[in-house]
Amino acid sequence: MSVERWISRKSPSLNVKGLYQSLRRQYGPQHWWPAKARGYEARCFEICVGAILTQNTNWKNVEQALEKLRRARALSFKKLLTMRRKTLAALIRPSGYFNQKAIKLQAFATFVKVRFGGSFRRMFKLSTMALREQLLQVHGIGKETADSILLYAGNKPIFVIDAYTKRLLEEQGTVYREYDEYRQWFEKHLPRKVKLYQEFHALIVQWGKNAGRI
């Protein structure tokens, strides 16, 4: 069954597993989140930087910004924290809102460096919700960004909600007022499997982009 037929049912008892299979058949495996860095710590760092840069922009713009950071050898705590903010902003300019995002990136890098000695292994040893609460205290880290960091860098079982995800449920007739209500809906209807959450969210994003929902 096509994805659009699933959505057109507009039933509160939507077969979410069937929707996942339909999306997967239509778009294929997504293998998201893409990161070029090698090694656990470097890969986590790149994913977290990407999660901040992708705020209010598309991934193509983020890729351009990440490539500029790579060329400047700036994808490290040391470089990010010692670089002049103006220089950092210029590097990430393709991602938009570059002045604000430069502040956010340095705030996040400071957080990980100070709280966890710059170790993502140490950071992700915290429980999902305990770490989420701490991330939400960092300047520029909202729920969607925090959950992206937790799910894709930390491999924590938490479902990411973005505009596409909300639109999919709303077109099916399920509407909530709060971000966490949407998140809890998915977590209630799906097994708590990280790979499933990662792939499902990526497929929904692909659906939204292809369907021109945003």
The residues, ordered by sequence, that sit 6+ positions from 96 with a Cβ below 8 Å of its Cβ are 56, 57, 61
Residues 105 and 141 both lie in one domain: yes
CATH code of residue 67: 1.10.340.30
- Name the band, by pLDDT with cuts 50, 70 and 90, for residue 210: confident
Residues 149 and 162 both lie in one domain: no
Residues 90 and 164 both lie in one domain: no
Residues 47 and 143 both lie in one domain: yes
Segment among 15-19, 20-24, 100-104 with least mean pLDDT:
15-19
pTM: 0.92
| Domain final residue, candidates 153, 175, 193 | 153
Dist. CA 188–CA 12, nearest whole Å: 13
The domain total for the chain is 2
Instruction: Give the Cβ contact number of residue 43 at 10 Å.
Output: 17
Residues 116 and 201 both lie in one domain: no
Domain ranges, residue 66:
40-153
Residues 137 and 194 both lie in one domain: no
The residues, ordered by sequence, that sit 6+ positions from 86 with a Cβ below 8 Å of its Cβ are 102
The predicted-structure confidence for 60-82, as pLDDT tens digits, reads as follows 999 999 999 999 999 999 999 99
The predicted-structure confidence for 19-32, as pLDDT tens digits, reads as follows 899 999 999 999 89
What are the tokens at 31? 């293998």
The predicted-structure confidence for 141-160, as pLDDT tens digits, reads as follows 999 999 999 999 999 999 99
In a domain, 35, yes or no: no
Mean pLDDT, all residues of the chain = 92
CATH code of residue 8: 1.10.1670
What are the tokens at 85? 């903010």
Burial of 33 (0-12, 13-18, 19+ CB in 10 A): buried
